[in-house]
Structure 1
Amino acid sequence: MLPVRQLPAEQLSVEQLTAQLRHLGVGPRTGVLLVHAALRSLGPVAGESAGVLAALRAALGPGGTLVAYTATPENSLTSRLHQEATAELSALERAAYLAAMPAFDPLATPCSPTVGRLSEELRGDPRALRSAHPQTSFAALGPLAAQLVAEHPYDCHLGEESPVGRLYRAGAWVLMLGAPMTSCTVLHLAEYRVPSPPRKRYGCVVEDPRTGPRWVYFDGVDLDDAHFPRMLKQIRLVGARTGSVGGAQALLMPVAPAVEAAHGWLTAELTSGGSPASGPRMRRKA
């Protein structure tokens, strides 16, 4: 987990934040940038989440594409959030809870508070495009937005045919802006590359423009980040840059080497007979 520095006493302007991002390495040559942010760690910024979004776009320049994780894990029968919300309900209460769950609409559904205010700020930009996965969507702003989020099959939450796979192939970078590395979504791509990854049944409710809300069920890789803390202590993040942005510690790294390092670690664990997810289950991603 990246440490949080003492917050600056004075408000950062968008121009100051842009300069700090550029000093870290965010710039026109970055091209495509996925950002995971914990804005509280930055300290006060002019314009709050809108100011941070403006600074990121200014640092990237007009040719850059900015991407955020706009997930809705509450819209699930298997996520940690859903299981916690329904754990103490009776059968009748659970049925009422399921009947009242909002249907996912990629054009209107807010992203989960768990992914942060910056993700919601980007999603709400009228120029943003969003992938249509009802549990693990991404939103993007910039020239490559349509290409990155155009297709997102239900059975491929964070795999090769998802925006994560396209970020990998686009030579994208990921910025952890005060957010812990355990929330680095692209590392899950490695789980799809091991032989016969564990799978499970998913269920969620979606808005059908013809019929209204309906439940959909599909099989997919059983995503879980229990192994992330142990893995992150042992892998080398090639090309990563660290520095201070506002009051936060930030890490900027290329996606492809990080995914390959995670895949190498997972492969070694499985080859040695170990279990990547040994120990208590930490958090269901969807």
Structure 2
Amino acid sequence: MKNELSVADVTSQLRRLGVRPGGVLLVHTSFRAVRPVERGPLGLIEALRAALGPEGTLVMPSWSDRDDEPFDALVTPSAHDLGVLPQTFWRLPGVVRSDHFHAFAALGPQARFITSDPLPLPPHIPASPVGRVHDLDGQVLLLGVGHDANTTLHLAEVVAGVPYRTPSYCTVLENGRRKRIDYGENNHCCSRFALADDWLRARGLQLEGQVGHAHARLAKSRDVVSVTVEHLSTDRLLFLHPVGAGCGECEEARQTVETLDAAGAGSLTRNIG
């Protein structure tokens, strides 16, 4: 049985890893991998906040998986597969949550800036919470999860102009009536996002260590995007499994390429420095 770690222990681990006091930190996590921690998910959130300090801003995914229901930031649960930590976080006093289906939640001085953009379509364009973390030179912490959970890589895809968009939709309220919004999303199985490990490690841009009982990866959002865009510039389909590999999600994405190349996927991007 694993020993329970105190909030102070986890705070020290985060600081040793390289979490910047006063910075912006976007966290993707599996609490199951991190536990046991004193006070459970609340204890881990307390440690993250302590490592950032009062001038830091903590950010977590908080989107819905209820495509057919209008999103309400005050009551709509976060998607089940995000886990207990994001579900706990957005309900805390002072946390600001995006007012749209592709929501993130944030706490700290930059929270409103990060969450204030309207519904981003596709979800991780520069004018989105992930894009705003990048704008603020924030860090990305993968805690007990790999790069397959790293939404900043979807931002990099958009910036690089990847030529695939699979059909997605969400439901909004317009003049008191439900309205379905259809859009294309740069979506696929994401398992090849693991390539980012080698890219970032090779340049010394990814810090790694133990936080709680989990393996943690920490990198600057801008480094993740710049290195990934560089690799995608040589092969925009690099994150998709090869034809015949048996991955239905990647095959679906490939089938949209010809249509989007003709329409110009680059129209959805802007330069990012």
Q: Given the two structures, how large is their TM-score scaled by the length of structure 2? A: 0.81
Match of 1:171 among 137, 141, 154: 137
What secondary structure, in the 3-state scheme, does the structure 2 residue paired with 1:147 have?
helix
Alpha-carbon shift at residue 105 of structure 1 (Å):
0.9
C-alpha spacing 1:233/1:39, structure 2 compared with 1 (3 Å)? closer
Q: Tell me, in whole angstroms, the C-alpha distance in 1 between the residues paired with 2:196 and 2:84.
A: 25
What secondary structure, in the 3-state scheme, does the structure 2 residue paired with 1:19 have?
helix
Q: Does 1:26 align with 2:26?
A: no
Q: Tell me, in whole angstroms, the C-alpha distance in 1 between the residues paired with 2:217 and 2:109.
A: 24
Q: Tell me, in whole angstroms, the C-alpha distance in 2 between the residues paired with 1:25 and 1:125.
A: 25
Q: Does 1:211 align with 2:191?
A: no
- The residue identity in structure 1 corresponding to 2:71 is F
Question: Percent same amino acid among aligned pairs?
Answer: 33
The answer to whether the 8 A contact 2:153-2:193 is kept is no
Q: Deviations over 1:91-120 (max 9, x none)?
A: xxxxxxxxxx54321221110121121111
What secondary structure, in the 3-state scheme, does the structure 1 residue paired with 2:93 have?
coil
**Which position in structure 1 is the counterpart of 2:83?**
116
Compute the RMSD of aligned alpha carbons.
2.4
C-alpha spacing 1:178/1:227, structure 2 compared with 1 (3 Å)? closer
Q: Tell me, in whole angstroms, the C-alpha distance in 1 between the residues paired with 2:92 and 2:148.
A: 27
**Which position in structure 2 is the counterpart of 1:247?**
213
The answer to whether the 8 A contact 1:154-1:218 is kept is no
Q: Does 1:104 align with 2:96?
A: no
Q: Tell me, in whole angstroms, the C-alpha distance in 1 between the residues paired with 2:184 and 2:33.
A: 34
- The residue identity in structure 2 corresponding to 1:36 is H
Q: Tell me, in whole angstroms, the C-alpha distance in 2 between the residues paired with 1:108 and 1:56.
A: 24
The answer to whether the 8 A contact 1:226-1:282 is kept is no
Q: Tell me, in whole angstroms, the C-alpha distance in 1 between the residues paired with 2:118 and 2:150.
A: 19
Superposed, 1:65-214 pairs within 5 Å as 65-72=57-64, 74-76=65-67, 101-134=68-101, 136-195=102-161, 197-207=163-173, 211=176, 214=178
Q: Given the two structures, how large is their TM-score scaled by the length of structure 1? A: 0.78
**Which position in structure 2 is the counterpart of 1:48?**
40
C-alpha spacing 1:246/1:33, structure 2 compared with 1 (3 Å)? same
The answer to whether the 8 A contact 1:192-1:221 is kept is no
C-alpha spacing 1:233/1:9, structure 2 compared with 1 (3 Å)? closer
Higher RCO structure, 1 or 2 (CA under 8 Å, sep 6+): 1
Alpha-carbon shift at residue 152 of structure 1 (Å):
3.3
User: Bigger CA drift: 236-245 or 36-45?
Assistant: 236-245
Alpha-carbon shift at residue 230 of structure 1 (Å):
5.9
Q: Tell me, in whole angstroms, the C-alpha distance in 2 between the residues paired with 1:154 and 1:185.
A: 13
Q: Tell me, in whole angstroms, the C-alpha distance in 1 between the residues paired with 2:136 and 2:189.
A: 24
Alpha-carbon shift at residue 240 of structure 1 (Å):
1.4
Alpha-carbon shift at residue 52 of structure 1 (Å):
0.5
Q: Tell me, in whole angstroms, the C-alpha distance in 2 between the residues paired with 1:206 and 1:66.
A: 27
Match of 1:231 among 182, 195, 213: 195
C-alpha spacing 1:234/1:129, structure 2 compared with 1 (3 Å)? same
User: Bigger CA drift: 214-223 or 113-122?
Assistant: 214-223
C-alpha spacing 1:230/1:51, structure 2 compared with 1 (3 Å)? closer
Q: Tell me, in whole angstroms, the C-alpha distance in 2 between the residues paired with 1:138 and 1:176.
A: 16
Alpha-carbon shift at residue 275 of structure 1 (Å):
5.6
User: Bigger CA drift: 198-207 or 102-111?
Assistant: 198-207
- The residue identity in structure 2 corresponding to 1:232 is A
Alpha-carbon shift at residue 216 of structure 1 (Å):
2.3
Aligned length: 246
Q: Tell me, in whole angstroms, the C-alpha distance in 1 between the residues paired with 2:87 and 2:57.
A: 16
What secondary structure, in the 3-state scheme, does the structure 2 residue paired with 1:36 have?
strand
C-alpha spacing 1:108/1:125, structure 2 compared with 1 (3 Å)? same
- The residue identity in structure 2 corresponding to 1:219 is Y
- The residue identity in structure 2 corresponding to 1:22 is R
What secondary structure, in the 3-state scheme, does the structure 2 residue paired with 1:206 have?
strand
C-alpha spacing 1:141/1:258, structure 2 compared with 1 (3 Å)? same
Which ranges of 4 or more aligned residues in structure 1 deviate by more than 4 Å? 282-285
